[in-house]
Structure 1
């Protein structure tokens, strides 16, 4: 068995967006349409962030700025897809912890 150590500048695995969308769907009780749209947003976010991590030096200010830009854009899209109430719920510490715990189990 090989263990890998992921850092902030490591590319995310291709299944990360799918898994996160599934966990978010369960926690936020999203409709199938919302789940599909969230998966699409997260896939785009994953591709953009992995591309940035390939092109820019690890831990560089340029990479951090690009990841921040991507994150802000993704959050705006997610808010539109799931609505302001569920987005606000997504931002709460309790839901964030549940999502993180579920994602940890999937790794």
Structure 2
């Protein structure tokens, strides 16, 4: 959960700074310390570069919940990806807090 909170937080900040999605995903991938996370990020980046939407790339990876996928899908269609990334970051932050 901590890694997902960090991922959505990075995405939120970078998108709000005006970077395009591909650049944001590249930076997310390059920032991964764990090999498994780097491979996941590379798969998502590759799918987006190949023309898939971010939500489709997340779905294809099999490592994201339906809640995350549908949230991102709605964000893509409404143009609210930075805001939804912030909500997902907050969601995972609260889940971690309640688990303690």
Q: Per the shorter chain, which TM-score range? A: 0.3 to 0.5
Structure showing greater Rg: 1
The TM-score, its normalising length taken from structure 2, stands at 0.34
The TM-score, its normalising length taken from structure 1, stands at 0.32
Q: Identify the structure with the greater helix proportion.
A: 2
